Amino acid sequence: MKKTLFLVLLLASFFAKSQKSTLNIIPQPVEIEQFAGLFTLNKATIISYNKVEGRSAAEMLIQKISTPTGFSLKVQEGKNGGIQLNINDVPNEKIGKEGYTFESNTKGVVISANTSAGLFYGIQTLIQLLPKEIEGKELAKTAWTIPSVKVTDYPRFAWRGVMFDVSRNFFSKEDVKKYIDQLARMKFNTFHWHLTDDEGWRIEIKSLPKLTKVGAYRVARYGHFGDRAIPKEGEVATEGGFYTHEDIKEVVRYAQERNVTIVPEIDVPGHSMAAIAAYPELSCNKNPKTFVNPGASIADWYGNGTFKVLYENTLNPSDEKVYEFLDKVFTEVAELFPNKYIHVGGDECYKGFWAADEGCQALMKKLNIRHVEDLQGYFMNRLEKILKAKGKKLLGWDEILEGGISPEATVMSWRGIKGGIEAAKMGHDVVMTPTTFAYLDYNQGENTVDPPIYAGLRVSKSYSFEPVPDGVDAKYILGGQGNLWTEQIPNLRYAEYMTYPRAWALADVYWSPKVSKNWENFSKRMEAHFDRADLAQVNYSRAVYDAIVKTTLKNNKLSLELGSELSDLDIYFTIDDTMPDSFSPKYSKIIELPEGPITLRVITYRNGKPLGHLITLKRAELEKRATKQ
């Protein structure tokens, strides 16, 4: 009898422990505690809301889970549901506007928040606590269980964004909505929509119809961006598209339902080639043959941040007609986007055409300024007055600091964090989005595996980002965002590949407490979300599994160092022209490579199974990337 009782207690203990699962939530909650026991969702479960603001969240939850579960769940007002969505009668000051509390046990789930936004984010946590099959597109047979937990959660930063460039390649409104939905699931709340550039003008301006009739289309070209040919004489522009006012309103509503604010960007005074193609009189040279760039090289870059533009892409700051044009554009933009910010670009503005223009020189004399660069400050201050008249705040890339801007302007720091530090110390609000941590168009792993681009950024580097620099008052740092430029991104599937998992890492950075940052912990959660993304048919990069190959050259001797972002990978390599596998030499320490025309082949394994891409590098490439000692 004693043996039987002991066995029963042992089994009970085992099952209690087995009910505790790893909680793979992204972003990591502020406080989370797990207990024994599970709540099981079934076809009789009711979702309740205590105030009308919670009804849309309840309906959105049902919409998300109905297909994989097969349940047609009911929504009702009150506090009697198996899943309760409650707006607090007395605000919980700790969780603020976007936070929530979450309690689940064997009887049900209660999500409480001060606002509907908090409820929405609590629901995203609930979905991540359900089995991964909840992400599927078809009916799944599994136990729909939620572990017993207690969560208190709220964001570190108010601005948690991703920028999506639709100028370099056009994306349909359905693509944009799908992308916004994915970001909202990770508790991002800002969608920076880059709508105009040299390669296309994507927003309808009814008072200026040629902006889309001409500026939204370019000649068809293929191949690497920057290597393409300019248009031929008489060649018809057929590639592109734009969003009508109704399209914009639809996307804005869709985002609002998911607590995402859309910040539109109209990039001026540089990056305006598409606008000038439509209205050449806006430029200094007024060249009627100005074209929408199909991805040709229109500038010479000198490697030190300086450049020369070969085809005019800059508005003329001395021409009053330019400001009349801008007033028309921003009148319609302001009406379409209800948020307080409009992004005006301001980056990479080439001043060479201004320096050679008589009108610009006369303006400089009138303003008593000696440097042509100061004309950008004049332009931006004129533009800010236009925006203020429409009830909007000016937001721009860190170049807007050049030439002087008003204290009310908000700065987006992209050229590292230096511009953000400078702006914050001047009293400007700042959004941190440096290339070194947040540029999602950069290569994610080995440059010989993914299609080439000018720089690299691994997910572990993105995860290491700290948006508040030392010595800066945190009150000026609104938050941060990732930026996805699409020169080399022709479709949504590849946009997803470049965005994830780095956007998941940035979601942690912008939402979770600084003290909770732990790469090992995040990488485990990230890998669990790979499985979820597969079921959701969302693309992502697996570059985190690839080996990192470094070489050094000392006294004409080439040494090899191999590593990985994940600590539990085994790395195997060959230099004898054979294909590596788990029986090949296993890397353990820096090795000196022999002389001769060797080819290095490297692959990673875990638990005896290959994971990463096969990397193949000839000696010339190994020498090219070597650091000299």
The mean pLDDT value for 72-83 works out to 95
Mark whether 6 and 128 lie in a shared domain: yes
CB proximity list for 507: less than 8 A, separation 6 or greater: 26, 27, 160, 186, 187, 188
Tokens representing 234 are 């008489």
Report the candidate in 408, 409, 502, 510 with the shortest Cα–Cα distance to residue 461.
502
Closest Cα partner for 502 from 442, 450, 432? 442
Section 494-522 average pLDDT: 98
Given a contact cutoff of 8 angstroms between Cβ atoms, the answer to whether 267 and 253 are in contact is: no
pLDDT in tens, 410-454: 999 999 999 999 999 999 999 999 999 999 999 999 999 999 898
Q: Is the pLDDT of residue 403 over 80?
A: no
Judge if 427 and 522 occupy the same domain.
yes
Q: Do 422 and 482 belong to one domain? A: yes
Strands (E), 362-413: 393-397, 410-413
Q: What is the pLDDT of residue 609?
A: 97
Strands (E), 188-272: 190-194, 196-197, 200-201, 217-218, 239-240, 261-268
**341 and 469 housed in the same domain:** yes
Q: What CATH number should be reported for the domain holding residue 23? A: 3.30.379.10
Q: Supply the residues annotated as catalytic.
A: 197, 271, 348
CB-based contact 295:226 (threshold 8 Å): yes
Say if residues 85 and 54 touch (Cβ distance below 8 Å).
yes
- Decide if pLDDT at 489 tops 70: yes
CATH number at residue 599: 2.60.40
The tens digit of pLDDT for each residue in 602-619 reads: 999 999 999 999 999 999
Residue type, 526: M
Same domain? 225 vs 345: yes
Rg (C-alpha) for the chain, rounded Å, is 27
What whole-number percentage of the chain has pLDDT above 70?
A: 97
Name which of 579, 489, 484 is nearest 180 in CA terms: 484
Domains: count for the chain:
3
Using alpha carbons, select from 2, 55, 28 the residue that is nearest to residue 520: 28
Look up the CATH number of the domain holding residue 305. Answer: 3.20.20.80
- Looking at the fold, whether 285 and 218 belong to one and the same domain comes out as yes
Give pLDDT, residue 15.
39
pLDDT in tens, 358-373: 999 999 999 999 899 9
Token readout for 471 is 């010595």
Q: Is 271 helix (H, G, I), strand (E, B) or coil?
A: coil
Nearest-angstrom CA–CA distance, 2 and 80: 43
d(CA 91, CA 115): 9
Amino acid in the structure at residue 327: D
- Shared domain for 190 and 276, answered yes or no, is yes
**Alpha carbons 390 and 393: distance in angstroms, whole number:** 9
Does residue 420 belong to any structural domain of this protein?
A: yes
Within-domain flag for 82: yes
377 inside domain: yes
194, part of any domain: yes
Q: Tell me: the pLDDT tens digits for 8-43?
A: 334 433 433 334 457 999 999 999 999 999 999 999
What pLDDT is recorded for position 615?
Answer: 98
Closest to 158 (Cα-Cα) out of 500, 511, 445: 511
Which domain covers residue 53, as residue numbers?
A: 2-153
Given this model, what pLDDT does residue 10 score?
42
Cβ contact 28:152 at 8 Å: no
Q: Do β-strands 190-194 and 159-165 pair in parallel, antiparallel, or remain unpaired?
A: parallel
Domain final position from 95, 123, 153: 153
Q: Which of 146-155, 403-412, 447-456 has the lowest mean pLDDT?
A: 403-412
- 109 beta partners: 83, 104
Residues 120 and 203 in one domain: no
Average the pLDDT over each of 22-26, 266-270, 517-521 and give the range with the smallest value.
22-26
CA angle 557, 561, 566 (to 5 degrees): 175
Strands (E), 116-158: 145-153
The mean pLDDT of the chain is 94
Which pLDDT value is given to residue 16? 38
**Which secondary structure element, helix H or strand E, spans residue 101, and what is its range?**
strand 100-105
The answer to whether residue 541 is domain-embedded is no
Given 503, 534, 565, the domain boundary residue is: 534
State phi, psi for 576 to the nearest 5 degrees.
Answer: -115, 25
From 502, 534, 566, the end of a domain falls on 534
Same domain as 366, residue 315: yes
Pair (164, 99) in one structural domain: no
What is the percentage of the chain residues whose pLDDT exceeds 90? Answer: 92
Q: What is the pLDDT of residue 407?
A: 83
Q: Pull the structure tokens for residue 274.
A: 């598409």
In the prediction, which pLDDT does 405 show? Answer: 78
Same domain, 215 and 135: no
Query: Up-side HSE of residue 431: CA atoms within 13 Å toward CB?
Result: 26
What is the sign, positive or negative, of the torsion defined by CA atoms of 600, 601, 602, 607? Answer: negative
- 203 Cβ neighbours under 8 A, 6+ residues apart: 195, 196, 211, 212, 242, 243, 248, 264, 266, 333, 336
User: For the segment 552-566, what is each residue's pLDDT rounded down to a tens digit?
Assistant: 999 889 999 999 999
Q: Which two tokens stand for residue 271?
A: 């990056």
- Shared domain check, 372 and 261: yes
